[in-house]
Amino acid sequence: MIEQRRILATPIPGPRSQDLLERKQAAVAAGVGVGLPVHVTDGAGGILRDADGNQLIDLGSGIAVTSVGNGNARVVEAVTEQVRRFTHTCFMVTPYEPYVGVCERLNALTPGDHEKRSALFSSGAEAVENAVKVARHVTGRQAVVVFEHAYHGRTNLTMAMTAKNLPYKHRFGPFAPEVHRVPMAYPYRWPGGPQRCAEEALEVVTDRIHTLVGEENTAAVVIEPIQGEGGFVVPPPGFLPDLAQWCREHGILLVADEVQTGFCRTGDWFASDHEGVVPDLVTTAKGIAGGMPLAAVTGRADVMDAVHAGGLGGTYGGNPVACAAALAAIGSMEEDDLAGRAREIGAVLGDRLTAFAARFPQVGDVRGRGAMMAMELVADPDTKQPDAALAAAVSRGCHERGVVTLTCGTYGNVFRFLPPLSIGDDLLHEAMDVLEESFAAALAGGPGAGGS
């Protein structure tokens, strides 16, 4: 295990990373961007080590993937053992036990105690696509409703479902039809204020679906119970349960996209659990398998089983090595109570971010749940004008000081925190100290270094 310590051996990126960056530019398509160009050689706990011997504190988990930590002993052992036995047969050709085991775990752990079935895939976007396939098939309806600020992937259908143009959709159209977007219950930016957000948003959403789409044409409403890429938008209490109820009344399937929020990230197994929401279908990926590519759709048995044999699948879906990793990762989440750990991380981050908000008026909002926390940066707390330049400057400052940070949001002004649940409190506090220093430096730098 790498020593759990931040080390700045060279400026970041160091010379070896810069060499690799040159090779990257010559070999890798420019469209594949990188946020922090250090070339990682090792990772464990809350630390990533790079080719120059720098050790960075990881507040990103590879976008909420390595929740159990890089180098998690159970995952390493399970993957090694599975690789020794066999790496692939294609489940659709000759099945194997780990796939079935993962589906059993998913059926038991996802919200609701009704009978469920699962199907496995390789990426979050693929899971979302398949949830839509199932919903259309079983309802015989075509329309899919998604939300402002949503992110669901980069394939053609999921690009249509994703809200933001740059970088995800720009000049990649035409997009898939029958995807309809409605306003998101976004308390901080709700015109009538956060108190009225839940009720008014539900009214707007259901009215739009009724008048512009028609309930009887709508197969599914797809929602991230806490939005990820779009800015860690947490809908106000009541919104999700009421939306679920309304969908039920109209025979519309509620699909919870838990790709980013799932598997203990928000302090419970799934973000839907916090308000007792039981979606018809749940999509998962990312944290499920400790970094191995695995994704799933889990849902009501009658819905999932409606699709004819052969209608769902893919060569690599539910790869045995990824399944072995998932079983080990889920075991680790249970045994080490990582949901509890996520709540502790949320308490530490929440306290520190609230203190930042008191010190820096540019912190317009602090929100999130568990180890999925964010602060939204604005040029002026009254106008709430987004300040993406400040977010970028603070993030750069953190990178230079050896902390891996991520931003997000439709306006690029949200600073998000997704540490591995294996990180220690000392590293978490150190990263927050670095953040505070970077924040102050960005503000002192004046125009160009931050601010707007």
Q: Does 228 bind ligand PLZ (CB under 6 A)?
A: yes
Closest-CA residue to 141 (of 247, 242, 300): 247
The residue from 59, 102, 120, 125 that contacts ligand PLZ (CB under 6 A) is 125
State which residue, 106 or 259, has the beta carbon closest to ligand PLZ. Answer: 259
Distance CA 372, CA 351 (A): 14
State which residue, 164 or 300, has the beta carbon closest to ligand PLZ. Answer: 164
The residue from 98, 124, 364, 450 that contacts ligand PLZ (CB under 6 A) is 124
Segment contacting ligand PLZ (CB under 6 A): 101-109, 244-252, 255-263, 340-348? 255-263
Cβ(388)–Cβ(411) under 8 Å?
Answer: yes
| Residue 172 Cβ vs ligand PLZ, minimum distance, rounded to whole Å | 13
Segment contacting ligand PLZ (CB under 6 A): 21-29, 138-146, 223-231, 383-391? 223-231
Q: Does 299 bind ligand PLZ (CB under 6 A)?
A: no
**Token pair listed for 64:** 């909420």
DSSP string, 4-17: S--B--SSSS-HHH
Q: Which helix (H) or strand (E) holds 55?
A: strand 55-58
Q: Does 322 bind ligand PLZ (CB under 6 A)?
A: no
Q: Which helix (H) or strand (E) holds 394?
A: helix 388-400
The residue from 57, 78, 103, 128 that contacts ligand PLZ (CB under 6 A) is 128
Q: Does 63 bind ligand PLZ (CB under 6 A)?
A: yes
Distance CA 394, CA 314 (A): 42
Q: Does 123 bind ligand PLZ (CB under 6 A)?
A: yes
Q: Does 222 bind ligand PLZ (CB under 6 A)?
A: no
Q: Does 129 bind ligand PLZ (CB under 6 A)?
A: no
Strands (E), 337-386: 363-369, 372-377
| Residue 259 Cβ vs ligand PLZ, minimum distance, rounded to whole Å | 4
Q: Does 259 bind ligand PLZ (CB under 6 A)?
A: yes
Segment contacting ligand PLZ (CB under 6 A): 87-95, 213-221, 256-264, 370-378? 256-264
Q: Does 151 bind ligand PLZ (CB under 6 A)?
A: yes
Compute CA distances 86 → 98, 321, 451, whole Å.
Answer: 12, 8, 54
Segment contacting ligand PLZ (CB under 6 A): 151-159, 296-304, 360-368, 415-423? 151-159
Segment contacting ligand PLZ (CB under 6 A): 12-20, 70-78, 91-99, 224-232? 224-232
Distance CA 266, CA 259 (A): 12
Closest-CA residue to 126 (of 105, 157, 99, 148): 157
| Residue 381 Cβ vs ligand PLZ, minimum distance, rounded to whole Å | 28
The residue from 285, 289, 339, 366 that contacts ligand PLZ (CB under 6 A) is 285
Segment contacting ligand PLZ (CB under 6 A): 136-144, 152-160, 210-218, 238-246? 152-160
Distance CA 102, CA 122 (A): 13
Ramachandran category for residue 238: left, alpha or beta (phi over 0 → left; psi -120 to 50 → alpha): left
State which residue, 28 or 301, has the beta carbon closest to ligand PLZ. Answer: 28
| Residue 258 Cβ vs ligand PLZ, minimum distance, rounded to whole Å | 8
Segment contacting ligand PLZ (CB under 6 A): 21-29, 39-47, 122-130, 303-311? 122-130
State which residue, 64 or 379, has the beta carbon closest to ligand PLZ. Answer: 64
Q: Does 224 bind ligand PLZ (CB under 6 A)?
A: yes
Task: Tell me the site size for ligand PLZ, rule CB under 6 A.
Answer: 16
Distance CA 183, CA 393 (A): 30
Structure-derived torsion over alpha carbons of residues 334, 340, 344, 346, reported in degrees to the nearest 10: 90
Q: Does 160 bind ligand PLZ (CB under 6 A)?
A: no
Own/partner pairs for 244-250, CB < 8 Å, 24+ apart?
A: 244/277, 244/278, 244/279, 246/202, 246/206, 247/221, 247/280, 250/215, 250/216, 250/218
Q: Does 229 bind ligand PLZ (CB under 6 A)?
A: yes
The SS3 of residue 346 is: helix
| Residue 209 Cβ vs ligand PLZ, minimum distance, rounded to whole Å | 21
State which residue, 128 or 427, has the beta carbon closest to ligand PLZ. Answer: 128
| Residue 33 Cβ vs ligand PLZ, minimum distance, rounded to whole Å | 9
**Token pair listed for 236:** 């106000």
Closest-CA residue to 270 (of 279, 282, 261, 278): 261
| Residue 295 Cβ vs ligand PLZ, minimum distance, rounded to whole Å | 6
Compute CA distances 90 → 54, 314, 317, whole Å.
Answer: 40, 8, 8
Q: Does 280 bind ligand PLZ (CB under 6 A)?
A: no
Residues binding ligand PLZ (CB under 6 A): 63, 123-125, 128, 151-154, 224, 228-229, 257, 259-260, 285
